[in-house]
Amino acid sequence: MNYVRTFMLMAGLTALFAVVGYLLGGPGGMLVALAIAAATNLFSYWNSDRLALAAHNAQEVDEASAPELYGMVRDLAARANMPMPRVYLIQEDQPNAFATGRNPQNAAVAATTGILRTLTYEELAGVMAHELAHIKNHDTLTMTITATMAGAISSLTTFGMFFGSRENRPGFIVQILISVLAPLAAMVIQMAISRSREYEADRLGGEIAGNPVWLADALAKIAGGVAHIPNETAEAKPATAHMFIINPLSGRGMDSLFSTHPDTGNRIAALMEQARAKGLGTMGVGATTSGFTSQASQSPWNSDRTPGPWG
């Protein structure tokens, strides 16, 4: 159902783009709008990962520089039967993480130093599994396209108001309405797609990690951290907010038209239900011994639920 909803929302975004072009410039304006959409999406297809990582000053790590994190991602990727993504660290106190890349063969996962200090090994495994689920589902490409189109619609309305041909340009009042309502509608559609993909990534992430409770516990801790620790880089570049596992801009988590993420409580409830359906306990990490294991998970902090020595 989530895939059908995503397809319908993306179709609606494309239709909105074409309609705005037509209203501002007639048939010729619609063709220009579609050409702009194609050009911007082509650019974002090849460059979205580099732009997103650079925006947050992410630094690539390997097994020598971050053995625990790198090894965890490698083991989870193998469990998910997908290529090993590049791994990045962001020097940021706020606990958070995101994935980016045009396909599973050209993908990256990024975690903040704050999340490494906040979560236990199992909880972090749940988060990384969630990010791998986004990559496996091609959500990173979907969200790049929707964000690009939403931004392009805003640019198109501004351009059309000032530079559209006089014979095709609509009345002044109509122009004002288009300039306000079209970007607003695009933003609502973009956020609806983002929320839909988060629920699916939670579900698949729980499957990849082996225990959905780990991710549920992680979401509760991350939401608490986000509510109290500001992310100045994300505040300066809010267009990247939808990429993170929890909205980095505030502690809000409402299932509203203007939220980039579903309500955290709703996400946790869905993960707990998933755990019960799998016959797993819901008392947190350690409720089951099945699921994700690796050599690193045998380290001392695994048993006492204290954060690992991530550095």
> pLDDT by residue (tens digit) across 234-285?
888 877 888 899 989 864 444 454 566 888 999 999 999 999 998 886 665 4
Q: Catalytic: which of 122, 131, 198, 200?
A: 131
> In the predicted model, is pLDDT for residue 290 greater than 50?
no
> In the predicted model, is pLDDT for residue 104 greater than 90?
yes
What are the tokens at 69?
């994190």
Helices 172-209/121-136 angle, 10° precision: 120
Q: Which fold has domain 54-140+173-299?
A: Zincin-like (3.30.2010)
72-86 tens-digit pLDDT: 999 999 999 999 999
What are the tokens at 240?
């990247």
For 94, phi and psi rounded to 5 degrees? -65, 130
> In the predicted model, is pLDDT for residue 164 greater than 90?
no
Determine how many CB atoms are found less than 10 A away from the CB of residue 46.
Answer: 10
200 catalytic? Reply is: no
Q: Which residue has the tokens 């704050």?
A: 114
Q: What is the pLDDT of residue 176?
A: 67
The single-letter DSSP state of residue 105 is G
Amino acid at 254: M
The Cα 260–Cα 224 span in angstroms is: 17
Contact 262, 194 (CB under 8 A): no
Name which residue leads in pLDDT, 105 or 149: 105
Q: What is the mean pLDDT of residues 61-76?
A: 96
Q: What is the mean pLDDT of residues 289-295?
A: 42
The Cα 18–Cα 37 span in angstroms is: 9
Query: How remote is the C-alpha of 217 from its chain's centroid?
Result: 19
The Cα 80–Cα 117 span in angstroms is: 25
Q: What is the pLDDT of residue 7?
A: 67
DSSP codes of every residue in 56-85? TT-EEE-TTTSHHHHHHHHHHHHHTT-PPP
Query: How many C-alpha atoms does 271 have within 13 Å on its Cβ side?
Result: 35
What residue segments make up the domains of the chain, in order of their start?
Answer: 54-140+173-299
Angle at 247 between CA 242 and CA 253, to 5 degrees: 120
- Regarding beta strands 107-112 and 86-90, do their DSSP bridges make them parallel or antiparallel, or are they unpaired? parallel
Q: What is the pLDDT of residue 127?
A: 98
> In the predicted model, is pLDDT for residue 180 greater than 60?
yes
- Please, what's the b/e burial string for 237-249 (b: 16 or more CB within 10 A of its CB; e: otherwise)? eeebbbbbbbbbb
pLDDT band at 9 (very low <50, low <70, confident <90, very high): low
182-241 tens-digit pLDDT: 666 666 666 666 677 899 999 999 999 999 999 999 999 999 999 999 999 988 887 788
Whole-prediction pTM: 0.76
Which helix (H) or strand (E) segment is 29 a member of?
helix 2-55
Contact 206, 128 (CB under 8 A): no
Q: What is the mean pLDDT of the chain?
A: 78
